[in-house]
A and B are shown apart, each in its own frame.
Chain A
């Protein structure tokens, strides 16, 4: 209770002090009067010699206080009272700040989740991916391509910087033997895969080297979710045999909850990994000699030895690539180069840049919000001059007044910060639920301690940015000036006016930058929608149909099964056409292979002889809506016994037969055991992964003529999966059940997996650009609104200041129209300044956005011009109301006011 005693003691002390001072003055006055001075003069003299009673008393009291804290509390109380007195101002300022801070908080929480949070792997900084780069100068549509088997084996054998190295590739399995057949997304992983990641199973073990050998690969590690959903989390699961693709596999381990490496959104697009791996089986890589033109399909992960840096690993990979050149065929030259990527940057990967763009945009928005609040505060502090003059006259220090203003600003910032947390939480909710699934670790976004610290930091910075602005209204000079004006007219000091104009100009400029950025993204999005994807997405249903090799080992079994399924689907009412392909449109690329073109002079194999090799059926082009540009598509008459035929894509025709006619020419995969085929048609290029990709040569062969198991599965016997594409007359979604029945009528053990509308797949590929665009459009709209509010505030304050002047002008015969024009012109001039500066800034800033754009340049004139017009219109609209007010000024009233 000592503080209470202290408080009572202080009360007494204060009382003593005031009484003592009063007595002092009284004694002095009495003495002076006794000397013969008139009482009035004596009183004045006593006071003058004593000094400022209030101030000195306060100084005396301060001795007993924690002066800073207590004046602070006093300031806070006073500030709260002042803010309550002008609820409109407070609401606008707090709301503006809440939006600015909230948007930054939400965006930062995404950045935090994706880029900053530690990864859930032990010593994650040692995990790297030696990704294989495509040969220089060859556009394969991807930055990273799968590693060839022979190359991986060579690296595994030669490398000295890796503690462990593992290869993996996606696979799919048909789980049978229990109830319904179930399609599982799986991974073939070599023995080094799990040690490289450093994650141990919660039950059992992972693969041994011996199990990672062809013929021994009959072990399976289950994901936590599969163990729960299919096996009831049975702790005795180890050792149990399950049937995958008709073959027995022994369960040897269960991975911990949440482990699903690799996820599609964390890996390079070229691999087309599934989003959720459910089983891992040994890769059991064939260790025999190199096979010509074998497809590459491996992804590689490694754990660096302690003390080895990324750069050292990269150096070693470079040296190995050089040394290996002689060991491989000449056309491999340049295709062994790797780029060693850390796990962190891989996972952040492509998401990092869009996120940083958004972070930049939100920083601009925050600055704008601060400028806006600063403008509001200046206007307000000008309106409060009487108060400041009074307080200064009563002995308030100049620094004390500024401290008071800063306190108010800090309160506003705090309220804005708290509001910002609410807005931020809302933003995070929005991003998690409507954000693109492609953002890895999005689900981890939330308000953690780091985000809170960030919000606090932003709040403090914001308070500092706008907090000092109103101080310009209470400089000693400006107060003295106002005093001279007798408080009659609160004249605006030049400095304050310039400051406010500068703030307004910066708001316009910042808004312009944001609106231009949003405009460019919107144009990009529109361009993407207009892109000809090479197929028609409406009324198309796609699903995966996998034939287990145990039951469907060769062409004699596979082709009739697919034919039967297709026939049944085709005969369903409402189905227009149907076909199969190794990958449906936007379903990822098919295997890339070296090709040979007999009779074609190929100078450079690496540069010229590559294409996607896609197995399709006769109805596929019609079902996908891919236009046949020349020649014909596949017919039912193209059988195993007829002339081998192929259809090529437009870009393939252009690349390999420039100026010539490919129809009737020969083409075939590089591997000699595949026959060459005669080109009978040219089809449009199909977008394989995203609408923004550049076309890549693609050749199609009919399923009736290809070698089965297909190219894709020659080396790694696995499930033969094809995508079925069904074009319907009515809404495709209603057809799911009947399509499923049609499949089961052929073989009840076949799972129908991944049923999706093609339009949904296309829309999903657009979620990311759509999300970025909507986000930036939202920011831009906010920025416009804030700039408009700022403009309105400045111009209407200007009109209020100039009421008398306008009145005089009118009394002297100025037309109302010219007054209107004068005010509007004033606003337009400020706006033009802002737009000019903003344009210069936007030209520089949008350069950084180049990689986000499609089909337009970063300096797209249409965007820039329309944004300038838009901003000018908004500015003029904001000036309109105050300008009307100025026009309606009654000269009599205005002059009387003086």
Chain B
């Protein structure tokens, strides 16, 4: 799956960002993309479409729910909401991610003399 590499930072990263965004408030796909792009200072050039397979995965695992509704711009949109299981999952993922990040940072830190 060579193509997937540049779409995702590492497996699960996109899902983690989606869950984190939904924790703030339920929103639809387009809004999610905008939010992730904006909050990462456009650092993450995510292929917009790749959000949708990720959302389907989260739906299937019961971490989010979805329902049709009307957006602020008066569009018919599918709004995603974090489930309690999703919140718990996010917590676990974030803490493990932080541990990993810490480890990586230590390794990368300039050697102290």
- Asked if B94 lies at the interface with its beta carbon under 8 angstroms from chain A, I say no
Q: How far is the CA of A63 from the CA of B63 in the complex (A)?
A: 14
Structural contact, B78 and A51, CB atoms closer than 8 A: no
**Is A16 in the interface zone, CB < 8 Å from B?**
yes
- Report the interface size class on chain A: 20 to 34
Question: Is A64 engaged at the interface, CB distance under 8 Å to the other chain?
Answer: yes
**Is A49's CB under 8 angstroms from B78's CB?**
no
Instruction: Report, as a range, how many residues of chain B touch the other chain.
Output: 20 to 34
Known A17-B52, A27-B73; contact A51-B47, beta-carbon cutoff 8 A = yes
Most buried by A among B48, B71, B73, B78: B48
Q: Which of A53-61, A106-114, A216-224, A348-356 contacts B (4 or more CB under 8 A)?
A: A53-61
Inter-chain contact B53/A50, CB cutoff 8 Å: no
Per the 8 Å Cβ criterion, residues 31-57 of B in contact with A are 33, 47-50, 52-53, 55-57
Question: Is A56's CB under 8 angstroms from B52's CB?
Answer: yes
Q: Is B30 in contact with chain A by the CB < 8 A criterion?
A: yes
Chain A residues with Cβ below 8 Å from B33 are 24
B49 touches A20 (CB 8 A): no
| Binary CB contact string for chain A from 22 to 37 against chain B (1 if under 8 A, 0 otherwise) | 0110111000000000
Is B66 on the interface with A (CB-CB < 8 A)?
A: yes
Q: Which residues of A contact B49 (CB under 8 A)?
A: 21, 50-53, 56
**Chain B CB within 8 A of A448 CB:** no
Q: Tell whether A62 is near chain B: CB-to-CB under 8 Å.
A: yes
Smallest CB gap from A398: residue in B = B2
* Contact across chains for B48 and A23 when beta carbons are under 8 A apart: no
B75 at the interface (CB under 8 A from A): yes
In chain B, what residue has the closest Cβ to A46?
B48
Cα–Cα, bound, A320→B76 (Å): 100
B52 and A27 contacting across the interface, CB-CB below 8 Å: no
Residues in A with CB closer than 8 Å to B56 are 13, 17, 60-61, 63-64
What's the Cα separation between A835 and B7 when bound, in Å? 53
Binary B-proximity of A268-294 (CB < 8 A = 1, otherwise 0):
000000000000000000000000000
Q: How many A-B residue pairs have CB under 8 A?
A: 66
- In the assembled complex, B17 has its CB within 8 A of some CB on chain A: no
Q: How far is the CA of A63 from the CA of B52 in the complex (A)?
A: 10
Judging by beta carbons under 8 Å apart, are A64 and B60 in contact?
yes
Most buried by A among B3, B53, B57, B66: B53
Residue interface mask A2-19, B partner, CB < 8 A = 1: 000000000001001101
Complex interface residues of chain B between 48 and 103 (CB less than 8 A to chain A): 48-50, 52-53, 55-57, 59-60, 66, 68, 71, 73, 75-78
CB distance from B2 to the nearest CB of A (A): 9
Chain A: CB-nearest residue to B3: A397
B26 interfacial by beta-carbon distance below 8 Å: no
A20 & B52 in contact (Cβ 8 Å cutoff): yes
A24 vs chain B, min Cβ distance (A): 5
Minimum distance in angstroms from A868 CB to a CB of chain B = 50
Cβ contacts under 8 Å, A52 to chain B: 49
Report the separation of the CA atoms of residues A63 and B68 in the bound assembly, to the nearest whole angstrom.
20
- Bound complex: CA A56 to CA B78 (Å): 17
In the complex the two chains form, what is the Cα distance from A28 to B32 in whole Å? Answer: 12
Contact of B48 among A26, A49, A64 (CB under 8 A): A49
Report the separation of the CA atoms of residues A64 and B53 in the bound assembly, to the nearest whole angstrom.
10
Within 8 Å CB of B3, what residues of A? 397
* C-alpha spacing A776/B77, complex, angstroms: 73
Given A26-B75, A60-B56, A63-B57, 4 additional A-B pairs, CB 8 A: A13-B56, A27-B77, A28-B30, A59-B52
Residue positions of A touching B, CB distance < 8 A? 13, 16-17, 19-21, 23-24, 26-28, 49-53, 56-57, 59-64, 397
What are 19 A-B residue pairs whose CB atoms fall within 8 Å in the complex?
A13-B56, A16-B66, A16-B68, A17-B56, A19-B78, A20-B78, A21-B49, A23-B76, A24-B33, A27-B77, A50-B47, A51-B47, A51-B48, A51-B49, A56-B50, A57-B52, A60-B55, A61-B56, A64-B56
Measured CB to CB, the residues of B under 8 A from A are: 3, 28-30, 33, 47-50, 52-53, 55-57, 59-60, 66, 68, 71, 73, 75-78
